[in-house]
Amino acid sequence: MKASIMSALSEEIDLWLDKEGTIKDGYQYEDEFINTARKVSQILLTKSLGEISSNRNKKNSRPVLGSSK
């Protein structure tokens, strides 16, 4: 999982570094930076979640106190 996340983030950072030198306008720079930050955040979140259950009502953790029913 870590390798997959690092690979995806590395690709996104490389794209940003390629774009960064060509941007001359401050507003465009800020817009591209924010878009890249959103993509990086989305990649990190989606890849770190792991496998998502098909049953959204299923409990994923054991009870901390008391007995399991």
Domain ranges of the chain: 2-48
pLDDT at 69: 53
Percent above pLDDT 70 for the chain: 77
CB distance 29 to 23 below 8 Å = yes
Among residues 45, 42, 44, the alpha carbon closest in space to that of 34 is found at: 42
Q: What is the pTM of this model?
A: 0.65
> Mean pLDDT, the chain, as a whole number?
83
> What are phi and psi for residue 45, nearest 5 degrees?
-70, -50
Q: Answer whether residue 10 shows pLDDT above 80.
A: yes
pLDDT at 48: 83
